[in-house]
Chain A
Amino acid sequence: MQVFKLCLRVLKKNIPSLLIYVVIFLAISLIMALAHTNEQEDALFSPSKSNIAFLSAEETPLVRGLKEELGKVANFVELPDDAEALQDALFFREVSYILRVPEGFSERFMNGEQVQLEKTIVPDSFSNAYLDLKIDQYLNSARLYVEQIEDLSQESLVQYLKSDLSADTPVELKTNGVKAADHVYTNYYFNYLAYSMLAVLILGTSALMLVYHDQDLQRRNACSPLSPGSFNRQFFLAILVFTGLTWFLMVIFCFLFNFKNLVNINAVFFVANSFVFAVCAAGISFLVGNMVKSESSIPAVCNVLTLGLAFISGVFVPAELLGSSVLKVASFTPTYWYVAANNRIAALASFNYASLQPVFSAMLIQAGFALAFIAIALVLGKKRRLE
């Protein structure tokens, strides 16, 4: 086991520089996972209130009623009605929605005229669409009254609307005790693992393999009585041990920060899936280690590979938001299947064969990728030795 021992010693020497990466990646994973957890918090059942500015040129019962209704889903921020101040507020996200009620709105509305409110918004936010819906619902219902009931005062209109709009659809959440939202953090953490773990593995493995790629050393090893098969086995065993340790460290961190949400069956699948991916990542890093030629190119290859895979397979940006052609390309990478399996595990509520089948097939695909990478790496390694 000389080769194996030596490998571990080389890796040990690299621990300080690897540790820097582990710490940085862990910090980023934690921050990102936390940030996303807050962001995603249950938009459906307790919509988080967004900050809006409500600028009204008039003060009428109808406008007051609308404001009251919006108060259920938004916080009002007082802003001076000045173009630059409003631009600043949107620019720095003090508010994400500025609603302006023009002069004479209520009167014209009550007369059944076509009127509109003006909004200035930060685009692409879901809460804005929600506010739009609320306002439209309020005024559409109001219009029904205005059209149908004669001599309707604004006050009584607002009263009617208030009781009508309190109707709410009850929602049943079908899960196995644990609320689905509890997996959000775990889901993000494990998704980010696809980036951080792969990066650490590539850096460590490549550093290790470069040592062995020294030509003199290789020639010396070639005339030793150790068979190349045994050499490779020991070598790969060392990489697996390194992979195992890295994986273990990163998974343990998730447990440390999020223990209460990890005592369930979903967590078992998260961990299992990440292990399969770790083996696959070991295969990738074995392949990369076989191909790099100089020490300075390791970080370059590592960054491009990990970031590229992470971006196209939905680690940083949720896969639902990616274009279908990007996803098609991504499905030829193991990261895609890893992330897909994670997202599915997060949504699992029961554990029968039908619901688990996609998770298992995603894991199998990753394992297939692992085998393919190792095979290619071995072929390349052989070619390189013969040169």
Chain B
Amino acid sequence: MFTHIFCNRLKCLLRDKENIFWTMVFPVLLAIFFYLALSNIQQGEVFQSIKIAVVDNAEYQKAEHLKTALNEAATGKSKLFDLTHAAREEAEQLLEQDKVAAYLFVEGGRPKLAVKKSGIRQSIVKSFLDSYQQTAASVNSILKNKPRDPQQLLNSIGDRRQYVVEVSGTAAEPDSVLIYFYSLIAMACFYGGFLGMREITDIEANISPLAARINVSPVHKLKAFLSSMSASVLIHLAEMFILLLFLRYVLRVDFGSKSVYVVITTITGSLTGLSFGAFISALVKKSEGIKIAILVGGTMTGSFLSGMMYLEMKYIVSQHVPLLAYINPVNLLTDAFYSLYYYDTMSRYLLNIGILGFFIVFFCACTYFIIRRRKYASL
């Protein structure tokens, strides 16, 4: 009997294009969109020289050192600035038309900056000028204090050293782009709820005619339910593995070195999603539209809180309402993936998986107690 129900159910579900779309095609498409939008951030941008203008007047000509510093920054292969010399009005016009990010002028012996808006490029120009002035101040005060070797001093200015070296806290770089992909997997796991929901729809006699027919057949309800649920589980797991393989080998998302655990997490997530859908469907005694709305709304809220749309949200939640982070299954799943990737130790991962396991048991038990022994004399 099991094989019969299982096989037919499998065919039945695979022909449901809508379900397949939402549980597999949609997450894959979203992953592609994420990839298109975020891959550049991940790889770091190719630095482009910043276009700036300099007001070329008598005061600028007098500021010899500034001139040298600017020209040095505006030459070479990986130059920082693209320099345009212009008269005041001209510079103003260039800024107006967004041809330059900023223009600088010398007034009272000090460089000043004019910008139209504050942005990263403008900040870099300002940092450069700040640094120039601060170094100039140091040089002046050193020259006043009888330096050892003034010639050597000028050479040292050009030799800027990097004093900070990055040491990784763990084996992996904390990469925030990954959170997007992890919460995407978590969302895909919870979209498995559609399948779980369908299973209930097709087994509860008061919801669909198909279920009414199944209920009059001489098969134990639990047996029928478990057989068809297994088909859903199989399909959803297959879909999730396709998604994982797609992420790993086509989009090259890094899952860290613990691939076995990634698979375990995905299976846990998939089961949570399916049982969540079944639970909602059994619990809510309203139309299918409302059930779908609750499922999608719940998943989306969960994904939002775990940072799928807006990364900072995750941290806002964990800092202000830590409890919410632990009862949000989507967040638990995202965290489980991320802690696998990020932490050397497994304690956080195990905690996440443990709570998820509790959720699965809870959803399944509730579903079981709601649907068991429900019989109808007439519908």
Interface size class of A (residues with CB under 8 A): 35 or more
Tell me if A180 and B166 are in contact (CB < 8 A).
no
Which residues of A lie under 8 Å from residue B177 when comparing CB positions? 124
A45 partner, pick from B38, B98, B118, beta carbons under 8 A? B118
Tell me if B26 and A300 are in contact (CB < 8 A).
yes
Is B127 among interface residues, defined by CB-CB distance under 8 A?
yes
A321–B48 CA distance with the chains assembled, in angstroms: 12
Chain A 1-37, CB-CB to B under 8 Å as 1, else 0, gives 0000000000000000000100000001001100100
Tell me if A317 and B118 are in contact (CB < 8 A).
no
Tell me if B41 and A307 are in contact (CB < 8 A).
no
> Are A160 and B138 also in contact (CB < 8 A) when A123-B175, A167-B133 are?
yes
Is A217 among interface residues, defined by CB-CB distance under 8 A?
no
A148–B315 CA distance with the chains assembled, in angstroms: 47
A92 partner, pick from B135, B141, B318, beta carbons under 8 A? B318
Which residues of B lie under 8 Å from residue A175 when comparing CB positions? 116-117
Known: A149-B148, A173-B116, A321-B40. 4 other contacts (CB 8 A): A42-B118, A117-B165, A169-B110, A304-B26
Is B71 among interface residues, defined by CB-CB distance under 8 A?
no
B173 partner, pick from A123, A174, A316, beta carbons under 8 A? A123
Q: How far is the CB of A369 from chain B (nearest CB, A)?
A: 20
Q: List 6 A-B contacts (CB under 8 A).
A: A35-B310, A42-B118, A171-B115, A296-B18, A300-B18, A323-B40
Tell me if B310 and A143 are in contact (CB < 8 A).
no
> Are A180 and B116 also in contact (CB < 8 A) when A124-B41, A133-B127, A169-B111 are?
yes
Q: How far is the CB of B225 from chain A (nearest CB, A)?
A: 25
Is B137 among interface residues, defined by CB-CB distance under 8 A?
yes
Which residues of A lie under 8 Å from residue B339 when comparing CB positions? 91
Of B89-97, B197-205, B250-258, B276-284, the one contacting chain A is B89-97
Tell me if B315 and A92 are in contact (CB < 8 A).
yes
Segment 14-69 of A: residues with Cβ below 8 Å from B: 20, 28, 31-32, 35, 39, 42-45
Q: How far is the CB of A123 from chain B (nearest CB, A)?
A: 6
Of A79-87, A249-257, A360-368, A377-385, the one contacting chain B is A79-87
> Are A174 and B127 also in contact (CB < 8 A) when A91-B342, A118-B165, A148-B149 are?
no
Q: Of residues B39, B137, B343, which shows the largest number of chain A Cβ atoms within 10 Å of its Cβ?
A: B137
A98–B149 CA distance with the chains assembled, in angstroms: 37
Which residues of A lie under 8 Å from residue B160 when comparing CB positions? 136, 140
> Are A139 and B161 also in contact (CB < 8 A) when A122-B174, A296-B18 are?
yes
Tell me if A169 and B129 are in contact (CB < 8 A).
yes
Which residue of A is nearest B143, CB measured?
A148
Which residue of B is nearest A330, CB measured?
B36
Chain B 34-60, CB-CB to A under 8 Å as 1, else 0, gives 101111110001000000000000000
> Are A130 and B127 also in contact (CB < 8 A) when A42-B118, A144-B139, A147-B148 are?
yes
Is A219 among interface residues, defined by CB-CB distance under 8 A?
no
Is A241 among interface residues, defined by CB-CB distance under 8 A?
no
Chain B 127-160, CB-CB to A under 8 Å as 1, else 0, gives 1011101111111011001111100110011001
Which residues of B lie under 8 Å from residue A93 when comparing CB positions? 312, 315, 318-319
Tell me if B176 and A123 are in contact (CB < 8 A).
yes
Which residues of A lie under 8 Å from residue B117 when comparing CB positions? 173, 175, 180-181, 347
Is A163 among interface residues, defined by CB-CB distance under 8 A?
yes
Q: Interface on B for A, CB 8 Å cutoff?
A: 18, 21-22, 26, 29-30, 33-34, 36-41, 45, 92, 95-98, 110-120, 122-123, 126-127, 129-131, 133-139, 141-142, 145-149, 152-153, 156-157, 160-170, 173-177, 293, 309-310, 312, 315, 318-319, 338-339, 342-345
Which residue of A is nearest B310, CB measured?
A35
A44 partner, pick from B122, B146, B163, beta carbons under 8 A? B122
Is A150 among interface residues, defined by CB-CB distance under 8 A?
yes
Q: Of residues B18, B36, B147, which shows the largest number of chain A Cβ atoms within 10 Å of its Cβ?
A: B36
B163 partner, pick from A28, A31, A136, beta carbons under 8 A? A136
Segment 65-116 of A: residues with Cβ below 8 Å from B: 83-84, 86-87, 90-94, 98-100, 114-116
Which residues of B lie under 8 Å from residue A83 when comparing CB positions? 169
Tell me if B33 and A311 are in contact (CB < 8 A).
yes
Tell me if B153 and A171 are in contact (CB < 8 A).
no
Tell me if B345 and A322 are in contact (CB < 8 A).
no
> Are A355 and B96 also in contact (CB < 8 A) when A126-B120, A148-B148 are?
yes
Q: How far is the CB of A365 from chain B (nearest CB, A)?
A: 18
Is A237 among interface residues, defined by CB-CB distance under 8 A?
no
Tell me if B163 and A140 are in contact (CB < 8 A).
yes
B113 partner, pick from A137, A170, A317, beta carbons under 8 A? A170
Which residues of B lie under 8 Å from residue A92 when comparing CB positions? 315, 318-319
A123–B356 CA distance with the chains assembled, in angstroms: 29
Is A272 among interface residues, defined by CB-CB distance under 8 A?
no
A123–B42 CA distance with the chains assembled, in angstroms: 10
Which residues of B lie under 8 Å from residue A291 when comparing CB positions? none
Is A275 among interface residues, defined by CB-CB distance under 8 A?
no
Tell me if A116 and B163 are in contact (CB < 8 A).
yes
Q: How far is the CB of A156 from chain B (nearest CB, A)?
A: 10
